Structure 1
Amino acid sequence: MGHLLDRVYLGAAWIAAFTILAIALLISAQIFLNFSTRALSLPLPSTIPSYADFSGFMLAAATFLAMPYTFRSGGHIRVSLITARLMPRARLVCEIAALAGAAFLTGFAVYFIWVLVAESVHYGDVSNGTIPVPLWIPQSAMGVGMTLLCISAIHSLVETLLRGAPVIAASEEV
C-alpha cells in the first residue's frame, strides 16, 4: 500500500511539474503576442483573455499538488535545532507528535477546502476575469493536493509508528 501511495504522490508531483510548464508556455505566448503586435505590428490579438487568471489558478494547483511528494521526500522545512540534541527515543516521540499534529491540521484544512468547493458549486461562483471560470475547478485541484498531503501525513505517521523510527529523511543544509 505504501508503494502505491508513493506513486500517487509522485504522479501528483508530475502533474504539478507539467502545470508549471503550462504556466511558462502561457506567459511566453502572451509575451510573444505583446512583442508581435507592438514591435512587429502584426495583426494578432494583443492579449490572451484571462491569462493572468489561468496562470494564478495553475500556480495554486501546482503548489498544492506538489506538497505531498515534497513532504514525503523531506523537502519541507524542518526545524531540528532542538530535536537534533534529543536522545533517539525523545526524538521519535517528537516526530510522532509532529506527524500527528500535521495529520490533524491538514485534515482540518481538507474539510474546509471541500466545504469551500461545495459552496462554490452551490452558489455558481465564477472568476472575475474576461473568461468566467467556475471557481470549483481550481479549488478542486487545491482540495486534491491538500487531501493527498493529509494522506501523506497519516501515511508517514503510521509508518513511523510501525518502524519505530522516522521515515521522512531530514534534509539538512550543508
Structure 2
Amino acid sequence: MRDWQPFLGLPLWVWLFVFPTLLALYCLWQGPKAAQFLRPVWRFLDKVYNAAGVIAACFMVLILLLIIGQMIARWSNLTFPGSTEYAGYSMAATSFFALAYTLTHGGHIRVSVLLNLNDHTKFWLDALAMFIAAITATYFARYAIKTNVMSEMLNDRTQGQDFVPEWLLTFFGMFANAPSKWGDMWAQTASEWVYTPVWLPQLPMSIGTVLLAIAIWDYLTRLLALRETQIKGEILE
C-alpha cells in the first residue's frame, strides 16, 4: 500500500478499510441501537442504488436504439460511424451501474450450501463472506479509479471510429477541477467533435464499482446490526 496517498491527513487505506471495519464492528456490538442510528443512511443509500438501476436500464434502452439505428443506416445505405463502439460502451455502463442494484435485490448468485447448516453458523459465515467481498470490491473500486486517472494522464484515445463533442469532455472535466477553473475551461472549449478519450467510457466502471463496494459495506452493517441478511431475492411467479 505504498502508493496509497494520504487523504485529509490519513493514508487512503485507512479511510477505505479501517473506518468501514470499525463501523461494522460497532454495528455488531450495538445491534439495534446502531440500526436505529444508521437507518436514515440506509434509506438514502437504497435510493442511490435504485437510481443506479434506472441509469443501467436507460443504457440498456440506448443499446436497443443503437441497434435500430444500425439497421436503419444499413437499409438506407448510410454509414453510422462508431455505432459498434457506442453499443459496447453502453453495454459496459449497463453492467457496472447495475452491480449495486442487482446485489441489493438478490440478483447475484450466492452459494448458500454452508449457510444452511444452522442459524448460528449461517450468520457468521455470511458476515465473513460479506466482509471478504467488501474488501475485494473496495480494492476493485480503487484500482478502477486509478485506471481512469491514468487514462486521462496519458490522454489515451479510442482506436475506433467513435467521436464525442468537446463540450461533453469539458462538462465531465468540471467535476475534477475547482470551480475557479470552470470559466477558463469553457472558454477554451470548441464546438468540434474529437476522438473519444478512454477515460470517458471508463467512468461507468469507476462509478459502478464504487457503488458496489459501498453497497457491500452497507449490507454488511445491516447484517451485523439486525442479525440477519437484508439481501432478499425477488420471487418471480
Structure 1 residue 25 and structure 2 residue 57: aligned?
A: no
Contact 2:138 2:213 in 1 (8 A): yes
Structure 1 residue 166 and structure 2 residue 229: aligned?
A: yes
Paired AA for residue 111 in structure 2: V
Structure 1 residue 138 and structure 2 residue 201: aligned?
A: yes
Structure 1 alignment gaps of length 5 or more: 38-45
Structure 2 alignment gaps of length 5 or more: 1-40, 163-194
Q: CA deviation at 1:36?
A: 2.3
Q: For residues 215 and 75 of structure 2, what CA distance do their matches in structure 1 show?
A: 44
The structure 2 residue matched to 1:100, chosen from 106, 112, 131, is 131
Q: For residues 19 and 130 of structure 1, what CA distance do their matches in structure 2 show?
A: 20
After superposing on structure 2, the runs of 4+ consecutive aligned residues of structure 1 that deviate more than 2 Å are 170-174
Paired AA for residue 98 in structure 1: A
Q: CA deviation at 1:130?
A: 1.5
Partner SS state of residue 27, structure 1: helix
Q: TM-score normalised to the size of structure 2? A: 0.67
Partner SS state of residue 128, structure 1: coil
Tell me the equivalent position of 1:71. 103
Contact 1:78 1:170 in 2 (8 A): no
Percentage identity across paired residues of the two chains: 30
Structure 1 residue 118 and structure 2 residue 149: aligned?
A: yes
Q: For residues 75 and 157 of structure 2, what CA distance do their matches in structure 1 show?
A: 31
Contact 2:114 2:122 in 1 (8 A): no
**What is the root-mean-square deviation of aligned Cα atoms in Å?**
1.5
Q: TM-score normalised to the size of structure 1? A: 0.90
Paired AA for residue 51 in structure 2: G
Tell me the equivalent position of 1:48. 80
**Greater strand percent: which structure?**
2
Tell me the equivalent position of 2:90. 58
Q: CA deviation at 1:47?
A: 2.1
Q: How many residues align?
A: 165
